[in-house]
Structure 1
Amino acid sequence: MSNKNWKDPELREFKKIIHRKILFIVLAILLTVAVLISYIVYTHFYSMGHLPEGKWIQSSTSPNQQYKLNIYLVNKGGATVAYSIRGELLNVSSNKRKNIYWGYREQAANIIWKDNKHVSINNRVLDVRSDTYDWRRE
């Protein structure tokens, strides 16, 4: 009888350890899946870095020639999807490119440089050093 009492607490402690390990593994897997799904959703639906290329329609250069804004018309296909405009900024000195404009239901771009660092695209004024416009975030 004393042998049985000795094993029961040991067995209960062993089961607790196993349950904790299983719980930890399940939580780790769920967290990994959640992070992976969040990353995929962000990069494909919200990131300006993964926009479709489109067809070049016009360019405009800043007054000091430091920046060049290339405008692309994007048609993702299908009868239910409207045209979009993508504005890609090129820093001429560093040759770095970044998307600063993503407008939905637009087929043309009216570009007016306000000064060397501010541009108006379809009446939306952006500081090319830091601002972006993305219709999905309105």
Structure 2
Amino acid sequence: MKSYIDEELEETKKNSRRKVVFALLAIILAVGIPISYVVYTHFYSMNHLPEGKWIQSSSSPNQQYKLNIYRVKKGRATGSYSVRGELTNVSTGKQRNIYWGYKEYDAQVKWKDNHHVSINNKVLDVRTDTYDWRRE
């Protein structure tokens, strides 16, 4: 009889431990996933960059792409300027950021060919490449 009670007590302890572990895991996931998403979108994603002030545009030699360059001022007196390059596919109208340079005031843009552009001496294939100073 005593052995049965001991086994039942051990099983109850195991079940309560499992419940505590699963509850802690659920809390960690419920808090960790949203925090990870916010950190990624605000500090690593190029989809949420500040807009800035337009400074120039440049089209690819075949007119398939248009690159708009924006100057972004972050902070007040002590903040530095940044340059953002937004590429538009003229045929589809789809836009995406391909360039994010920190401590830059202007951009020197030169198209190498129909698919390669140099922005401040960084050559990008506009079909696939991006430049983000935060990832250097």
Pair in the same fold by TM > 0.5: yes
Matched-pair identity in %? 69
Aligned position for 2:72: 74
Deviations 1:10-59 (A, max 9, x none): 12211211111111110122133222222111110010001000011110
Whole-Å separation in 1 of the counterparts to 2:112 and 2:4: 84
Q: CA deviation at 1:64?
A: 0.3
Match of 1:36 among 34, 38, 53: 34
Q: Which residue of the partner structure matches residue 21 of structure 2?
A: 23
Report the AA paired with residue 132 of structure 2: D
Q: How high is the TM-score relative to the length of structure 2?
A: 0.94
Query: What is the deviation of 1:5?
Result: 4.5
TM-score, scaled relative to structure 1 = 0.92
Using the alignment, how far apart are the partners of 2:6 and 2:113 within structure 1?
A: 80
Segments of structure 1 that go 5 or more residues without pairing to the other structure are: none
* Structure 2 residue runs without a partner (length 5+): none
1:100 match: 98
Runs of 4 or more above 6 Å deviation? none
Residue equivalent to 2:50: 52
